[in-house]
Each structure stands twice: as C-alpha cells, then as structure tokens.
Amino acid sequence: MMSAPLQIEGNSITIEPGHSLQGEVRVPGDKSISHRALLFGAVAEGVTTIHGMLAAEDPCRTAECLRAMGVAISPIGDKDQPVAVEGVGLDGLQEPGDILDCGNSGTTMRLLLGLLAGRRGRYFVLTGDGSLRRRPMGRVSRPLCHAMGARIDGRANGTLAPLTVSGCQLQGGVIGTSVASAQVKSALLLAGLTASSEVSVIEPNCSRDHSERMLKAFGANVQVSGDYGRHVRITPGQSLRGQAVHVPGDISSAAFWLVGAAITPGSRLRLHHVGLNPTRIGALEVLRAMGAQLRVENQTQITGEPVGDLVIEHGPLGPFSIDADLVPRLVDEIPVLAVAALFAEGTSRIQGARELRVKETDRLAVMTRQLRAMGAVVEETADGLVIDGPQRLRGARLDSETDHRVAMSLAMAALNAHGPSQIQGIDAADVSYPGFWQQLGQLRMPGAQES
Ligand code: S3P
C-alpha cells in the first residue's frame, strides 16, 4: 500500500482525515537520557560515546552549552555515528565567555543550574527563549541556595531566567522537594557530586530515575531507598568514568503513535526498541486500562534501562482516570491522552496534573483551547481535565502555540476529525521529534476510514 502524502507549507500542515496508521516505527532517542549522557559525559574522566542520541533542538542546546565551557563534543545528527563527548572531569568546566542559551529546554537549564552551582570561582549566566524565561526556576535555585549554599540570582528573587550562577563550594544536606520533578532531583544530585558532604533528596512521589541509573553506571555513589525510590542519596568524592551509552527510543515520542493507532480505525503499528523504564510507562498503563490492543515484545535491557517493541492496533476504548500518584509516570503524555479520551466510550478524568500549567506552555489551557476549536467539549479544572467520549470532532484551524507536544497531539486528533485541519506552528516538534511530520506522511495509509 502507498502512503498518503501530507501538505506541508512553511510552518503549517494540512491533515485530511480518512486514513489509518500502519507500519514500523523507530522513534528517536529518549530526550531525558540524551541530555544526561551529554552532561554526565562532560564531567566524567575519559570519553563517553552516545549511541542513538536524540538529535533534536533540546539536547543540542545542552551540547552547545557544554561546548561553550570547553567540552569537545563530536557533530550531532549523523545517524550512523555515535556522539563522542570528551570528559573534562568533575571540575574541568571552563567559565564561558558569553551567556549560556538553553533555548526551549527546561532540562538543560535546570540540570545545568545544579551542575554549575558548585564550580568554584566561575561565573555563568543562563537564559532561554520566551517560554523558558517564564518557567519556574525557584524549584531548583531555592533548594540549591537555601540548603546547599549556592549563589544564584536573577529576576523574581532568582526564580526566573536569565539567572546568574557564582560557583562556590556547596554543602550537603537533606532536601525534601515539594513537586515530584526529575529535573529538580537531578539538579540536586549533580550539585551533590562535589558538595562537602552527602546530599539526600526526598520526593513526594518518585519521578523518572534516569539520573540515578546513569550516575551509578558512571561510577557515582548513589543510593535509592524508600517506597518506590522516593529517597535518593549521593555521596561526593567519586569521580565519574566515561561510558558507552545506548539511548532507547523515547516513550514520550512513541505515545503519539500509540494513541494515534489506538483511536484511528484500521491502524496497526509496531514501534521498535522503545524505553520502558518503570518510572515512564504510565501511558501504557492508561492505554491498557482503556482496553487498547497493546502488546510488549522482545523485552531486554540496554545501559541499565529496560526496552522493548510495542505493537498496537485500533479497537474499542473505555475511559481512564489519572491521579496525582500516576502523573509523574506520564507527565509529558497527558496532552495526547486527552485526545485519546475524546475517542473512548465514557468519562475520563485527569486530576493532580497542575504541573502541566508550567511546562513549555500551560498544557491544560492550550489543549482545552485547541480541542474546543475542533468542537470538542472539554472541562478544564484547576489541576486537570474531564472529557466525556466519544465525541465527533470537526476539522479546524489549529495552533501548536509553540509547544512540541501540543503540535503532535493535535495531529492525532486531526487524523480522526470530520474535514481537513490545518495546524500552525509545526516546527515546534523539532524540539523533541525531528522528522515527525515526514514519518506521519509515511505511516498514513489511504482509505481505511470513513470521514
Ligand atoms: C524531564 C523531566 C520532566 C519532563 C521533561 C523532562 C527530565 O519534567 O516533563 O520533559 O528529563 O528530567 P519535570 O522534572 O519538571 O517533571
């Protein structure tokens, strides 16, 4: 069967419904793991080779910032070549001659704040795009300053970028975080690498644990305890050793195809080699609870991370409930799960998801606004969404509002609307998923659905 070409014009795409999604997909490398491999590799001794790194805007920002501090990193983007990072050691980062521009990437800014706070005698200025300059940085700068003695300053009492960091000797401590955030936890662990004593981080809920896994693999002294690993300790004094890192496919990118296939009649997709870290697979739990035709095959481990193939088919779907305990395991997948809810029989509820309001955009507000433009009835609450399904969507003019995950989620809704939709601002997808629109064109098969 021939795939059905898509109309892309400048920064917008027109999607005609009436197609299924079929074929084999290799989603790009995991974004969280790619950032960490670059950062940990930069301060390790020796060379780190990163296989399957995500060559998207966000990790490229991390790489550029590290290069500006004297770290040699080989060119990124050649699929067949691993990225080589020549580690400069725990205290080898040089003071950059200019500001560090983190672009749209919260992970770059928050993890760098932790890493740079302890670089004694060096001064750093971090900034980002309009979205990043509005996002809360106090969740990182406050515990770093108040509990560990870091010197971070900036707008709104050092809680909004641009931020300055005057590197100094940090002290250890026990830090309870108010939100389950892997970015906050990772920043504190990175600061802990050279603190004067142990750093203990206690989260309200366990966030993604890629830092703990990878820091251990690099030789750091990290201990995880407490229910579901909410308590993480790092003991300074251990240097990191460069490693070969194999990056699995990003389950947050896979989620668009999983939902797309689950809701689009006639669809069947196989997604190869997707990361299945237990702290990331909440969307699979939700899809299973909805009764989706989903199978996991060929499970194995690479560089300490579980991976497997996911096979998904269209079928009838029931509603789901997401609460605060589940949110950390699927925080980036909520926009596309909101789309799934529109095609499920019954009332789906998302609660305890206030964090979505401080992502690249306020994703609860943006998804509500955009889905309403398609005629959807969506109830927006303070910390979530309530959606009664199934609903009939109409094709509409839509806008990513600069948010990569919104852009790709809306594409899945547009595939199942009545009439064509035009999505503006599709370039946003490059932040985490370069080639997404081309891949959509390849997987879309004509004629399997009535519109
Ligand atoms: C990330 C953690 C999550 C997630 C983001 C990537 C990470 O953010 O939303 O896309 O790589 O640590 P929070 O730490 O703010 O939950």
CA of 332 to the centre of ligand 1 (A): 8
Structure tokens at 166: 């005057």
In a mutational test of the pocket of ligand 1, which residue from 206, 208, 326 has the highest number of ligand atoms less than 8 Å from its CB?
208
Active-site annotation, residues: 332
CA of 180 to the centre of ligand 1 (A): 10
Q: What is the pLDDT at residue 447? A: 64
Q: What is the pLDDT at residue 269? A: 98
- Tell me: pLDDT of 6 over 90: no
65-107 pLDDT, tens digit per residue, is 999 999 999 999 988 899 999 999 999 999 999 999 999 999 9
Query: Is 330's C-beta closer than 6 angstroms to any atom of ligand 1?
Result: no
370-428 pLDDT, tens digit per residue, is 999 999 999 999 999 999 999 999 999 999 999 999 999 999 999 999 999 999 999 99
Query: Is 181's C-beta closer than 6 angstroms to any atom of ligand 1?
Result: yes
CA of 416 to the centre of ligand 1 (A): 29
CA of 337 to the centre of ligand 1 (A): 17
- 113 — pLDDT class (breaks 50, 70, 90): very high
Query: Is 332's C-beta closer than 6 angstroms to any atom of ligand 1?
Result: yes
18-36 pLDDT, tens digit per residue, is 999 999 999 999 999 999 9
Query: Is 58's C-beta closer than 6 angstroms to any atom of ligand 1?
Result: no
> Residue 64: what residue type?
E
Query: Is 402's C-beta closer than 6 angstroms to any atom of ligand 1?
Result: no
